[in-house]
Amino acid sequence: MGSMVAGAGVNPADQNWPWWPLLPLYPYGRRRTLRRELVPGQVWSFEQLQGVFYVAVPIRMTAIKVDGGLMLYAPNAATAECIALVRDLEAIHGPVLSIVHPSSSGLEHKVGVPAMARAFPGADVWVTPGQWSFPLPLPLSWVGFPAGRTRVLFENGVPHGDELQWEPLGPVPLGPGPFMEASVLHHASGTLLCTDALIAISEQWPELLDLDPTPMLYHGRDHGDEPMDDEPQRRRRGWKRLVLFATCLKPHGVDQVWRRFPFRWRPSWEQDFAVISRGGRLRVAPILEDLVFPRHRPLMSDWLRRCSTLSFCQLVPAHFHAPIRCDGSMFETLAQAWEGGDSDDAEASDRAFLRSFNRQIERLGLVPKA
């Protein structure tokens, strides 16, 4: 496997993302892209940083080799650098034939689709059913999706059906609109793609953060006067704290917010990371489990069981570690744990905020009650 990223001579303008005000997340208007070859000649990931207040983790677009060209799954920010890295693949493998937006509720995945569609005007655009916008319900064409070549997965068929197998997760009603995502198996490489449902968390920070270690160095400090010196111990400490924020929003390990530096950590925070990361094992994302799937839990176990019957050897989600070596038996184990409650008491304190937030939005009538 190899990686490709712009070197020191890159023009920063090629990393410019002018649409960042639509979703003002770090690193705002500059998005570096790291391309990694996950399966030689067949599967590539395109990774960019995205987050809030230096809580930045990778968001991943995946390119799949299909008959006659390429398919892009879960587009990210279509910067000139990112487009050029896709063009390199087009020169070898053929044009981008399809662009798939595999989530109905993931704004971080949706915001990059219109620009990616304009960059590849010959590609069909596919979306999951139940697309919605907030606060106003707008047609997809009003938010930049090309009207003449946008199709709905499952309702209008599926792209590359002879090479790929598509499996829906959802829909789960959420008030403003449903949660739904579409996973897909690439038979030739044995690679299963998903968006937000499943993650695996490694102790090692992602290669992408080597391009911009600022988030790790910021959160790797213990007080505001501590310099952000770049050293492995601070990087690893910062990465683990980033994970706790990204998965739990308000982790138990944060003791308080104070004036000169936003966070003070309890001594137990490293144990909290060990519990949430589960030693790098595959798991349902805590945010989905606590904010989406208190409703219609059987939909998750049904999806896991359908995927467990497929023949695959690795999973590529849109966040955190990838590829994850796994097979159908691991999905069956997850399904059994999910049906049994999948509630690790050791995680309760870290996930208390998510569960409290879910109860609050239920009381306000923003989402249906579980």
Tens-place pLDDT, residues 156-198? 999 999 999 999 999 998 888 899 999 999 999 999 999 999 9
The residue among 173, 191, 172, 194 whose CA lies nearest residue 182 is 194
Quick check: 257 pLDDT over 80?
no
Q: How high is the pLDDT of residue 6?
A: 44
Two structure tokens written together for 269: 């925070």
User: What does the pLDDT look like over 83-96, one tens digit per residue?
Assistant: 999 999 999 999 99
| Predicted confidence (pLDDT) at residue 97 exceeds the cutoff of 70 | yes
Q: Using one digit for the tens of pLDDT, what is the confidence trace for 202-227? A: 999 999 999 999 999 999 988 777 88
Q: Is 72 helix (H, G, I), strand (E, B) or coil?
A: strand
Phi–psi pair at 163, nearest 5 degrees: -115, -20
Strand partners, 167: 183
Q: Using an 8 Å Cβ cutoff, are 118 and 19 in contact?
A: no
Q: What is the mean pLDDT of residues 59-85?
A: 97
Q: Which domains are assigned to the chain?
A: 3-201+289-334 (3.60.15.10), 211-280 (no CATH)
Cβ–Cβ < 8 Å for 293, 301 = no
Percent of all residues in the chain with a pLDDT value above 90, rounded to a whole number: 70
Q: How many CB atoms lie within 10 A of CB 255?
A: 13
Rounded Cα gap, residues 279 and 150, in angstroms: 41
Q: Are 72 and 147 in contact (CB under 8 A)?
A: no
Containing H/E element for 336? Answer: helix 328-339
State mean pLDDT over 15-21: 92
Token digits for 171?
């829909």
| Amino acid sitting at position 48 | Q
Q: How confident is the model at residue 8 (pLDDT cuts 50, 70, 90)?
A: very low
Region 125-142: mean pLDDT is 89
Lookup: tokens for 354: 């998510």
Judged against a pLDDT cut of 70, whether residue 4 lies above it is answered with no
What pLDDT, in 10s, does the model give residues 74-85?
999 999 999 999
Alpha-carbon distance of 79 to 113, in angstroms, equals: 12
Question: What is the CB neighbour count within 10 angstroms for residue 108?
Answer: 19
The structure's pTM equals 0.93
Please give the pLDDT value at position 196: 95
